[in-house]
A and B are shown apart, each in its own frame.
Chain A
Amino acid sequence: MSDYLIQQIVNGLSLGSLYALVAIGFSLIYGVIRLVNFAHGDLLMIGAFMTFGLVASDMVPWAVIPLLVLAGGFLAGGLIERIAFRSISGAPMITGFIVTLSASIAIQNLALILLGSQPRNFNFPEVFRMRFPIGGADVALIDLVIPAVTLLCALALTTFIRKTRAGIAIRAVAENPFAAQLMGISIGRLVFLVFAVGGALAALAGLFWSGKYGQINPLMGFLPGLKAFLATIIGGVGSLPGAIAGGYILGFSEIAFVGFLPPEYSGYRDAFVFGLLILILLVRPQGLFGEVEQERA
């Protein structure tokens, strides 16, 4: 294998992992309340700035920062649910949709006011930027850490969904919310839980994103968030393995588009990604792992 190919595979793996981390949250939330949380991408931004602040303050050891970011994302996700979403539960789907869109706009602009619109440079400590050769290619450590941590998170989450009471309740609600309530499951608590868990993972993705690309700004969450939602659609909305697979499919095809076509096309990267989405929606609207929901009159 050529070095170039290995390099591209590692790139795809690491970008795909980031999409997968964000996509999991979309899928969890959609599974429980059939709602796409538009503010989800902004949690990535919040996570990035949290990391930035923690690193700049220089008060916490490095090993603790990811844990704090996870906790912060958990709170922020839950807060969005409490403030924006809880109050309109029971309203038509379109209302919930507009509310999350409003929340996203409000968060972005609040961040612009509080943090300023100037992009900030941001770098991980030397250790993570260390590069070492794999089969001739020069790979950054961070690009290997990201997939490893993502895998760990995915495993932990799968166990959580399969084995714990709360996880089983989430699956029950996804299957049939009405029957689940009859069984004594409190949907309100679960909604909070999925927003918070999704928020934690998105914030972690923000930490990685800022470390990988070295620059952060208040609007950085929008496009990755949108693309992660595309990943969710590709995999089938509501399915966890689908979200993860979708993240990697999107990551790899984006890298392939940029890496293997002549450079003058790389400006069209985002256009390509959304073209792909429309194509997939046409061929397989329910996604790779999604189930067809029958429309009833």
Chain B
Amino acid sequence: MKNLALSPLQAFLFLVVLVSGLILAVIGSGNGYFQTFTALTLINVMLAVSLTMTNGFTGMFSLGHPAFMTMGAYVAILFTYPVGRKGFAMPALPEVIAQIHLPLPLAATVGALVAAFMGWLIGRLVVHLQTHYLAVATLGLIIVVQTFALNLDGFTRGGRGITGVPREASLWLIGICTVLIIVLCWRIKHASLGRAMLAVRENEMAARCFGIDAFRLKLLAFTLGAGIAGFCGALLPHVVSVMSPKSFGLILAFNLIAIIVVGGQGSIVGAILAALFISVGSESLRMVEESTGVYGVTQVIVAVALISFLLVRPKGLFGLKEPLIRSS
């Protein structure tokens, strides 16, 4: 294995070639189903990698990604929804915004910024909480955000959901973002910032004795994770063209946790592999579900598999290690 290991630069080039090759092949195939599936898988990879940073590096246990995704999605849709139909779908929207139409990358960035800002605000309140409390507080956050999305129906159409979101999220856009986010998280992990985060995770008190501002680091990881989640959330409805308050909920939070647990808490390569594995796995199970009509089997299998996996490898596949890549 040692000899096969790539240097980080080689790994980066490999990643770029892999992603662009995949996208070229999928677009070339002209198969709409494959294109959607690839887009969703890549977004899962981004989510998993960002959650690896938020939770894996700092040792926090946030389940809040779906909440920030919902925020990012609704904010982005405000700017990408066809101007002509906005007055009908979102009557409460101020005239100024109703007239604006932004291309998706810009709108998604706005969504990400809003989500990051909210993450920063909420993070100031919750990041100091211990494991269980943070998990419950962020789980609660999902419900709070869903409640607001359901009730602010002047902006969100409430429980009916928004349909006809323009399918503007091209595979290339998603692919580029995936690579950028992986590189960002990789750089953070291997810079002093990441090492400080890992120190906080291993022993917060000891880290603080070395002068590391644990609160600031956790807040940073939380905010950054919220921003990336908001960005992914903004992309998703532009792939599947619908958005509803329940689009991103507990099941998604759980699947993301499953991915980073399987990958190993803090391993980026592990998170990517696990995201690919679980996306492909649950998609094939979903097809079985649809053909047999037994809905819910996928989640049962994922949950049972996760429990049994943890029995065998409590630290995930790779722990903190990055397999196949030489440490520089």
* Interface, chain A (partner B; CB < 8 A): 36, 84, 87-88, 91-95, 97-99, 101-103, 105-106, 108-110, 112-113, 117, 222-223, 226, 229-230, 233, 237, 267-271, 273-275, 277-278, 281-282, 285, 295, 297
Contacts and interface: CB of A to CB of B under 8 A. Distances in A.
B297 interface: yes
B24 interface: no
A113 B300 contact: yes
A112 B295 contact: yes
B92 interface: no
Interface in B92-145: 122, 125-126, 129, 131-133, 135-137, 139-141, 143-144
B4 to A, nearest CB: 31
Contacts of A273: 140
Given A91-B314, A98-B310, A105-B299, A274 B140 contact: yes
A113 B133 CA distance: 31
Interface stretch (B178-186, B222-230, B301-309): B301-309
Given A270-B147, A278-B140, A281-B137, A113 B294 contact: yes
Interface of B: 61, 122, 125-126, 129, 131-133, 135-137, 139-141, 143-144, 147-148, 150-151, 203, 205-206, 209, 250-251, 254, 257-258, 261, 265, 294-300, 302-304, 306-307, 310-311, 314
A103 B131 contact: no
Nearest to B299: A109
Dominant secondary structure of chain B at its interface with chain A: helix
A21 B11 CA distance: 54
Interface of A is mostly: helix
B157 to A, nearest CB: 15
Given A98-B310, A271-B148, A105 B129 contact: no
A233 to B, nearest CB: 7
Contact of A274 (B144, B257, B258, B299): B144
20 contacts: A97-B61, A97-B132, A98-B257, A98-B261, A98-B310, A101-B254, A102-B254, A102-B306, A102-B307, A106-B300, A108-B299, A113-B296, A117-B295, A226-B143, A268-B148, A270-B147, A273-B140, A278-B125, A297-B206, A297-B209
Given A94-B61, A267-B150, A222 B250 contact: yes
Nearest to A117: B295
Contacts of A117: 295
B317 to A, nearest CB: 14
A157 B296 CA distance: 37
B303 A106 contact: yes
A268 B151 contact: yes
B254 A271 contact: no
Contacts of B151: 267-268
Given A233-B136, A270-B147, A297-B205, 15 more contacts: A88-B310, A91-B310, A101-B254, A105-B254, A106-B300, A109-B298, A112-B296, A113-B295, A223-B143, A230-B140, A271-B144, A274-B141, A281-B129, A295-B205, A297-B209
Given A117-B295, A274-B140, A105 B303 contact: yes
Contacts, number: 120
Contacts of A102: 254, 258, 303-304, 306-307
A25 to B, nearest CB: 15
A285 B136 CA distance: 13
Contact of A93 (B131, B203, B209, B310): B131
Given A94-B131, A268-B151, A297-B203, A105 B251 contact: yes
A101 B306 CA distance: 10
Contact of B131 (A84, A97, A281): A97
Contact of A84 (B137, B258, B307): B307
Contacts of B143: 223, 226, 270-271, 274
A285 B133 contact: yes
Nearest to B136: A229
A273 to B, nearest CB: 8
A113 B311 CA distance: 26
Given A230-B136, A285-B129, A88 B311 contact: yes
A36 B132 contact: yes
Contacts of B299: 105-106, 108-109
A230 B148 CA distance: 20
| Best-surrounded residue of B203, B251, B298, B306 (most CB of chain A within 10 A) | B306
